[in-house]
Amino acid sequence: MKDIQTELECISIRLEMLNEESRRLYKLLENFKVPNAMPPEEIKIKILETLEKRKKEMKDEIEELSIRIRELNNIKY
């Protein structure tokens, strides 16, 4: 049971990190005013693509942890 609790805590921490990263990136998007050769909309798109990629990575990690939790749960019973 302790292993499952530890895995759930890891998921919770990772989700909080993702949420914090999302808030930070969206705040950057809102306040984005930097002179650059690349148009601001293109930069915003790249930031959003990075965020989406990170979300997918986190989703995959969470799915992996969920599978491990189920496996641990099956071993216990």
CB count, 10 Å around CB of 17?
12
Q: How confident is the model at residue 33 (pLDDT cuts 50, 70, 90)?
A: low
pLDDT tens-digit profile of 36-73?
A: 677 778 878 888 888 888 888 888 888 888 888 888 87
**pLDDT(2) > 60:** yes
Q: Could you tell me how far CA 6 lies from the centroid of its own chain?
A: 18
The pTM of the full predicted model, rounded to 2 decimals, is 0.50
**pLDDT(77) > 70:** no
Mean pLDDT of the chain: 80
CA distance 44 to 66: 32
CA distance 71 to 77: 10
